[in-house]
A and B are shown apart, each in its own frame.
Chain A
């Protein structure tokens, strides 16, 4: 009885585990700060187990539906888990669990008196992100976007003193993005009368030339563009994430922008169909131009940075350009590339921020010019850094190579040669960037004055283990890329004619 109970209720347990953990962390953790980290690790761990179970259920039997409150849609709210959902849920759960383990030492050092606030907001952010991913109701997405956003504003403001102004800017711009999305949902409601995603898809096919539906599309997609820091709304990202606490950066940077990309995929292919976006509206060219601009601007700004976390943030801006270009390309290879890159880039960004955090914890500086001799002092961390660098440049058989491969072949098929050139340009810039950092870190040891500090002072185990696990996940993603594409992304690829 417990077995069937658990199997049927898995979709909601994924959300309830971090939610209850969040309430308990605040209620109990305010009085006893030592219990915060264990509750967080247990909550995210349970969520990870449930997410993996749901993904295997989807793999065996097809999409899983869960009706909240027992009301069938469109009367009530519905949870739908298909392959895309399931993968992103597992991704969020993995990154959250590993960051929770990673954060134990770092939070004690940086945020010693505010530990209970950190873990409570951490768990609510994870709940919000998972809720955005799993829901099948357009208004529920807005409520959960706001949960994730409010938690992230408070988490980012826990950083250094100059983070307050950057967080305020992020708050203003994030509110604009979420409210534009809400306005889009309003236009959909006014024309169709329903909020349930499959129902909306059906109603839109009945009246595809309506002006309100067109405006709804523009508003929803532009709102999400603002939230994912897509060119030209990318200015807030670097300032907001650069002065955040280490563990906060490791959680927010890989996940928040990628979940906004997921929402765009849902809006594009589950609410508005392929024929609406690419045949009736024909906006593919306009978005690809913006994607090219995003890649070029992001790469050039990254090249100009000496502060490592700001560099990573501008790389995120460029990677979002890859994803948006792939999704709006209009053919199967582009969709493969964009979606695969969503998962690959989340893991790569998580690894980069974890490396940055480990170096900051031990050396106290994030200026890459001062990273002399790090290969001798922190060998495991820098080896992981080399793996990530290979993946970002696009060297086979890492995950980054396969996503670039599919993106380039999709661009060639669709005739977007400018996008292909931008991708190659970005790989070149990444190579220059990362080799420069490796040069500073490897060769600096002979000329630095304090040569007595050459002994190893590696980061603690609780920080190394999650980093190594993320690298292993990234390499597994790359080595098994064909299987992942065939079993997980191909069933939901709307261009493959199923």
Chain B
């Protein structure tokens, strides 16, 4: 098998390297990839949605459908990992025994965590809210929030982390996040626009024109992404760390 794998990998390498010489030059601002659709995005993103961060604009407006399915991928990963690890037997011959050590209750770590976690969560909210003007957005903020929860779970044992966000809360937040995203799209459909066409939100939100409605729609969608990513990433950590039982962890 090693030989067959080696042959396949080297054939692929030779094929791709022989093409790599003929691709457009690295860093060329006028290559076809940089010219056609991408330059439209750069030139018109601010005009269409009043959002200077072009990445957020493309992610949440022009290609928002891809982002909705990306959020669904995160959701499915959480559901799938819960499904796979459900019912792992504790009595099997090879079951891993996870025990909390006395040294896990370190005063230094717990005190430092108490200072750091609120700052992390505040920074995460800033990253989400300011995603229109600086690098940031839903996924990034959600990951920082999940990291703060994982830090809690590491410092105060898994039970401490679960006290902050229980399994039911995780399911609730994840479902709320994706429903918020898809729900905004359905609200747009109710006002005679296409799915995820935020300009229809101008009829719903008070005193906004079509351009600002897009900006607010993007923010709402990013908040949905944050909720789902935060809860599912923390859920994946608790499931993997406790072998599916959600009681004792690393």
The distance in angstroms between the C-alpha atoms of A114 and B189, with both chains bound, is: 35
| Residues of chain A lying within 8 A (CB to CB) of residue B33 | 189-191, 193
User: CB distance B15 to A69 under 8 Å?
Assistant: no
Which residues of A are interface residues toward B (Cβ below 8 A)?
Answer: 5, 9, 12, 16, 19-20, 23, 26-27, 30, 66-71, 74-77, 113-114, 117-118, 120-121, 124, 127, 131, 139-140, 143-144, 146-147, 150-151, 153-154, 157-158, 164, 187, 189-195, 210-212, 214-215, 218
Which residues of B are interface residues toward A (Cβ below 8 A)?
Answer: 15-16, 18-19, 22-24, 31-38, 40-41, 61-66, 69-70, 72-73, 75-77, 79-84, 86-87, 168, 171-172, 175, 178-179, 182, 186, 189, 192-199
| Residues of chain A lying within 8 A (CB to CB) of residue B179 | 20, 23, 27
User: CB distance A68 to B195 under 8 Å?
Assistant: yes
The distance in angstroms between the C-alpha atoms of A190 and B28, with both chains bound, is: 11
Q: Which residue of the partner chain, among A75, A146, A194, contacts B73 with CB atoms under 8 Å? A: A146
Q: List 18 A-B contacts (CB under 8 A).
A: A5-B192, A19-B182, A20-B179, A26-B175, A70-B197, A76-B62, A114-B83, A120-B79, A124-B76, A143-B69, A153-B80, A158-B83, A191-B23, A193-B38, A194-B37, A214-B19, A215-B19, A218-B15
Q: Closest residue of chain A to B39, judged by CB?
A: A193
| Residues of chain B lying within 8 A (CB to CB) of residue A212 | 19, 22-23
User: CB distance A140 to B66 under 8 Å?
Assistant: yes
| Dominant secondary structure of chain A at its interface with chain B | helix
Total A-B pairs, Cβ < 8 A: 150
The 3 A-B pairs of least Cβ separation, nearest first, read A154-B80, A193-B36, A70-B197
| Residues of chain B lying within 8 A (CB to CB) of residue A192 | 32, 36
User: CB distance A121 to B76 under 8 Å?
Assistant: yes
A405 to chain B, nearest CB (A): 37
The distance in angstroms between the C-alpha atoms of A117 and B79, with both chains bound, is: 7
User: CB distance B35 to A193 under 8 Å?
Assistant: yes
The distance in angstroms between the C-alpha atoms of A147 and B72, with both chains bound, is: 8
Contact (A154, B83) CB under 8 Å given A76-B63, A193-B33, A194-B37: yes
| Residues of chain B lying within 8 A (CB to CB) of residue A5 | 189, 192
Q: Closest residue of chain B to A189, judged by CB?
A: B33
The distance in angstroms between the C-alpha atoms of A154 and B73, with both chains bound, is: 12
| Residues of chain B lying within 8 A (CB to CB) of residue A30 | 168, 171
| Residues of chain A lying within 8 A (CB to CB) of residue B82 | 117
